[in-house]
A = this chain, B = another copy of it.
């Protein structure tokens, strides 16, 4: 497109349909309007099956509804995260096919029939309290077309739960480990596999868990070299990256 624009402009210059001064002005404005990477945004959606996402925290139901309307108009799948019941009520009145996962705080409106990606994304949590973050990750990974399994409540204090699911752990292409408290699970899982592990520290705990800082630090200092980390409670981000890893370039 922008090649075409430039060609047209140069042709006009050649023909004398435009003065050099005016052409110069157009060129000065050009690069900031149509840079290649701006178009990437559009490409990205098509190539990855990635839906537009609304982060609902701090938005009113009306604001969310309005943004949702624009996304759906473009034919995309919709994923809304951190959505409370009130937002869901507002959305579902207009979009009957909206599906709400209360634990996850996600609303999903799925249009496309994106093919499942081949690799498995495994989501492991340390405790039952980490499940909301895990559900956000699961919803995200699934709407992005991944094959997802979950393994909940497999904390290291009862390491046999982890070991008895060794098969899934070994099979996964990417593993998302979600843990609060001391976050040791990421290291233990990381030591068991030769695939990327994405650690999601959660704000579960009390006292010196400092709202998730403790598992965050633990995961950043993991003795297993295959662990990278996202922000506290960021189940969405972990699943988004996992899905990118799971996509063949």
Contact = CB atoms under 8 A, between A and B. Distances in A.
A229 interface: yes
A222 B7 contact: no
Interface in A192-219: 192-196, 198, 201, 203-219
A207 B232 contact: yes
A220 interface: yes
Contacts of A157: 187-188, 190-191, 222-225
Interface string A51-85: 00100011100000000000000000000000000
A184 B187 contact: yes
A240 interface: yes
Contacts of A207: 201, 203, 211-212, 216, 220-221, 231-234
B233 A40 contact: no
A120 to B, nearest CB: 9
Given A35-B163, A43-B194, A6 B24 contact: yes
Contacts of A156: 156, 184, 187-188, 191, 223-224
A202 to B, nearest CB: 9
A interface SS class = helix
A82 to B, nearest CB: 9
A194 B44 contact: yes
B240 A230 contact: no
Contact of A245 (B31, B191, B245): B245
Interface stretch (A12-20, A94-102, A108-116): A12-20
Nearest to A11: B20
Contacts of A205: 221
A225 B236 contact: yes
A23 interface: yes
Given A157-B224, A188-B188, 10 more contacts: A14-B14, A31-B163, A36-B166, A37-B191, A37-B192, A40-B193, A159-B159, A198-B228, A220-B231, A228-B229
